[in-house]
Amino acid sequence: MAKNFQFDSSITADIKAVACDSFKDNVKMIEIKKIKPLAENFYSINEIELLADDIERQGLKHNLVVCEDKENPDSYFLKSGHRRFTAIKYLIDNNRYNSNYVPCLIDGNKTESENMLDLIMLNATTRVMNDSEIFRQYEILKNVLENLKSEGKKVSGRLRENIAKFLNVSPAQIGKIENIKHNAVDEIKNAVESGDISIATANSVARLPEQKQKELISEKNVCEITSKDAESKKSEATSEKKMKNKNIKDNDNFSKPDEFESDKSEIDSDPEVPDDTSEDEKDIENYRQRLIEIQNTFAEKVAEAVSHSDINKAVIFMQLQLENIKGEINNG
What's the pLDDT at 186? 95
Q: Tell me the CATH class for 22-109.
A: alpha beta
The span from the CA of 32 to the CA of 98, in Å, is: 12
What's the pLDDT at 48? 87
> What's the predicted TM-score (pTM) here?
0.54
The span from the CA of 48 to the CA of 56, in Å, is: 12
Strands 76-80, 64-69: pairing is: antiparallel
User: What's the length of the chain?
Assistant: 332
What's the pLDDT at 187? 95
What's the pLDDT at 24? 56
Q: How many CA atoms lie within 13 A of 244 on its CB side?
A: 10
The span from the CA of 53 to the CA of 71, in Å, is: 35
Spatial strand order in the sheet of 64-69: 27-31, 101-110, 64-69, 76-80, 35-36
What's the pLDDT at 20? 46
The span from the CA of 18 to the CA of 12, in Å, is: 10
CA 99 to chain CA centroid, nearest Å: 41
pLDDT along the chain (332 residues), means of 10: 44 43 71 82 69 92 90 87 90 92 90 82 75 88 86 82 88 92 95 94 93 92 92 86 71 52 44 51 75 80 73 84 79 65
CB 207 within 8 A of CB 179: yes
Kind and range of the H or E element at 1? Answer: none
Q: Please enumerate in sequence order all residues whose Cβ is within 8 A of that of 183, keeping only pairs 6 or more positions apart, or say none.
A: 206, 207, 303
The span from the CA of 213 to the CA of 190, in Å, is: 14
DSSP letter assigned to residue 93:
H
The span from the CA of 101 to the CA of 1, in Å, is: 51
Domain map of the chain by residue range? 22-109, 255-331
Q: How big is the CA angle at 327 (ends 325 and 328), to the nearest 5 degrees?
A: 65
CB 63 within 8 A of CB 27: yes
Beta strands in the chain (DSSP E): 27-31, 35-36, 64-69, 76-80, 101-110
The span from the CA of 80 to the CA of 122, in Å, is: 9
